[in-house]
Amino acid sequence: MNFYRFFILFILFVSSLSFGLNFAGYWFQFGVRGGDRTISNQGTSVNIQTITNQILNSGSSGYWVGETLSNGAFIQIGYLSENQSGVYPSFCTMSGCGGYENLTAGNDEWFYEYFPPSFSSSFLGKIGPDGSAGKNGTINNYGFYYNGTTWNFLFNGKNIGNVTLGSNSSGQNIPIAFGELANASNSDTVLKDVVFNNLKFYKNGNFLTVPSGYSFIGYGQGSSTVLKNPYGVEEVGNKINYFSLGSGIPQYPNNTRLWTLGYTLSINSTYGNVSGDIGYVAYANAKINVPSMVNINNGTRAIFIKWVGSGLGSYTGVSNYSNIYLNENITETAVWQKQYYLNVFSQYGNTTGSGWYDANSTINYSINSNIIYQNKSSRFIFNGWNNGAKQLYGKILLNSSILLSPIWEQQYYITINSQFGNVSGSGWYFKNSTAVISMKEPIINVTPYEKIAFYSWNNGAKSQNLSLKVLNPLSIMPIYKNQFLTYFEGANQNGIPIFINNITINGNKTKNTLFLYSGLNYTINNVYYDGTTIPLNKNINITSNSTVLLTLPLYNLSIKTTDLFAAPVNALVILTFYNGTTISEYTGNLGSIKLQNVPFGMATGTASYGSITTSINALDGNQNTLLFVSLFNIEVFILIIVISGIIFVIASRRLKHSSNKDIKKETIEKNKKPEQN
């Protein structure tokens, strides 16, 4: 096949892609047109699936995206499936063609083509190398856009050419994404399904998704329309902006809407109860609005700072209310400044620093004085702040709402006055602290027998050195009373004086001579005598120098041990007394023990003589006489028994002799009587 033959085939092929050819043949076109929102664009693009080895009974096939410009020029880009292998011109301009490509039937190549406002049938554009549209099933992006000087052609984002066409806009025209069976003599060719998606238009420097797509089944300009176009277009799986072209696909009436694109406005706001993810029709107006201030809780609020938008048509700015135009999915994020309330509060004095501040800011605060007087005897002392700071003023990092308060400690004044002597302890004391009050001269000697002595404090405390819990202001003074020298002397139950060393008076053990307060009742609890504590419980009241006689339960105790005939016996006596002490003593030849001044006359124990032991239980000084059986008593008892036995035997014999004599006499008498008869 010579070059001329290939050139004729090429001319026939590329002519089939043109919109304005006026000779016989069929140019079946089928695909999608954009909606009215895509007018006045400056370019378009689409993703097209490469399907190789299309078996063409007649004509050649191509798949492309293009549109008419405002001045009538036409521009398109896509890929073609050549129907015969051969050599083709690869690049043609108004000045002619340059370069050739050896293309193989069944392979697919990208191409772009343009037609000036008054164009001829000549091919103007470029064809990629053999198989440049990629392997079967691959997806490629085809597009063009105006950059301010020329229209630029893109294949997978790479610039593959440019052209000047005298217009910078599509005007009222819209982008189209078509499949085309060109220069066919019949409609018998079965075209495999080719998938298109993501149809876009270029505007204001961005490729925007075509919001609505409408079906188109028809013919290229100048095509014969005798045969019905058998090819169709439909959405794939109800996917937006995702459609397929080919044979056997349902044919919707032209301008049937295949999809309508909706955009989402996602509003992110931490505060303000602002809704988000709102559906809108593409390229529609939407409003965003948040309050300028939101109360989060007591002491925390958020101040609106600005919107930060992402997405074409979004708003970024400080106004809390704005309109936006949705050129695509948009996210608007409200930026807030959290603020915390610093409450510098004090019951006393004047503070500074209260107010609303940005989170994590550093704030100055202060209190005007470290001492606040309530009155002459009550005041408050500054003891730092509740955050641990100790100075009257400071700085604080505000990372939450804070109540900052000075810590005040109550102080009371304790007044100490005295009629006699020196006292100490007057001054300011913290509440609940301990005030130590003391005096240096608790006793003033009047005579050797009389004193003026500290009795108590006016609050009733008795100790001259007083530790007092401070709960309120106090006026403390000591109370003094007269004291008289008092001597205590004991006496037993017989009135005989007894010397005593110590006594217990009002629960306190003391010597027998001491000074007592005049006019007060005292109780003598115990008297100590000879190692024995003797309970007494005697009440006294002293009004002058005195000797107090204490009659004590002391008794003389006598124990006698005798035999049955009142003769003394020497018995061993063991006694235990009231105080628990014990003695062991013999009664001697006199058979007697006498004990003087025994407390309560009380003694318990035993007396033993020989093998005989008897108990002793003495009380109140009663005499105890104990009888024992002595050896002499036993001898006498034996002698008496022996003598009594002898007497009894003699008497028994006399009685028996007398009885025998009487019996004999009776017998004689009986014997005499019969003789008388």
Return the structure tokens found at 202: 């270029």
The per-residue pLDDT for range 464-489, each reduced to its tens digit, is 888 889 999 999 999 899 999 999 99
Listed as own residue / partner, the contacts of 419-427 with beta carbons closer than 8 Å and 24 or more positions apart are 419/477, 419/478, 419/480, 420/444, 420/452, 420/478, 420/480, 423/478, 425/466, 425/476
pLDDT in the model for residue 631: 64
pLDDT exceeds 80 at position 4: no
The 3-state DSSP class for residue 593 equals: strand
From 648, 606, 644, select the one nearest 624 (Cα to Cα).
Answer: 606
Mean pLDDT of the chain: 88
Which residues have C-beta within 8 Å of that of residue 441, sequence separation ≥ 6? Answer: 420, 421, 422
User: What global pTM score does this model have?
Assistant: 0.52
Please indicate whether the domains covering 3-254 and 554-632 agree at the CATH topology level. Answer: no
Q: Which of 66-70, 401-405, 630-634, 646-650 has the lowest mean pLDDT?
A: 630-634
From 563, 481, 571, select the one nearest 522 (Cα to Cα).
Answer: 481
Return the structure tokens found at 71: 């001045």
pLDDT exceeds 50 at position 19: no
Listed as own residue / partner, the contacts of 534-538 with beta carbons closer than 8 Å and 24 or more positions apart are 534/599, 534/600
Domain 554-632: give its CATH superfamily.
Immunoglobulins (2.60.40.10)
pLDDT exceeds 60 at position 20: no
pLDDT exceeds 50 at position 351: yes
- In order of 78, 560, 595, 613, 620, the CA distances from 623 in angstroms are 151, 8, 11, 18, 9
pLDDT exceeds 80 at position 122: no
- Do 503 and 516 contact (CB within 8 A), yes or no? no
The per-residue pLDDT for range 228-283, each reduced to its tens digit, is 999 999 999 888 999 999 998 988 999 999 999 888 899 999 888 776 666 788 88
pLDDT in the model for residue 6: 36
> How far is Cα 337 from Cα 474, in angstroms, rounded to an integer?
55
From 406, 402, 409, select the one nearest 380 (Cα to Cα).
Answer: 409
Taking every pair of C-alpha atoms in the chain, what is the biggest distance, in angstroms?
227
Domains of the chain, residue spans: 3-254, 262-340, 345-411, 438-552, 554-632
Q: Residue 165 gets which letter from DSSP? A: -
Q: Please state which of the four CATH numbers 3.30.1360, 2.115.10, 2.60.120, 3.40.50 is assigned to the domain occupying 3-254.
A: 2.60.120
Q: Which of 243-252, 289-298, 460-469, 516-525 has the lowest mean pLDDT?
A: 460-469
pLDDT in the model for residue 669: 61
Which residues have C-beta within 8 Å of that of residue 401, sequence separation ≥ 6? Answer: 297, 298, 299, 300, 340, 341, 342, 343
Q: Where are the alpha helices (DSSP H) in 521-630?
A: none
pLDDT in the model for residue 671: 59
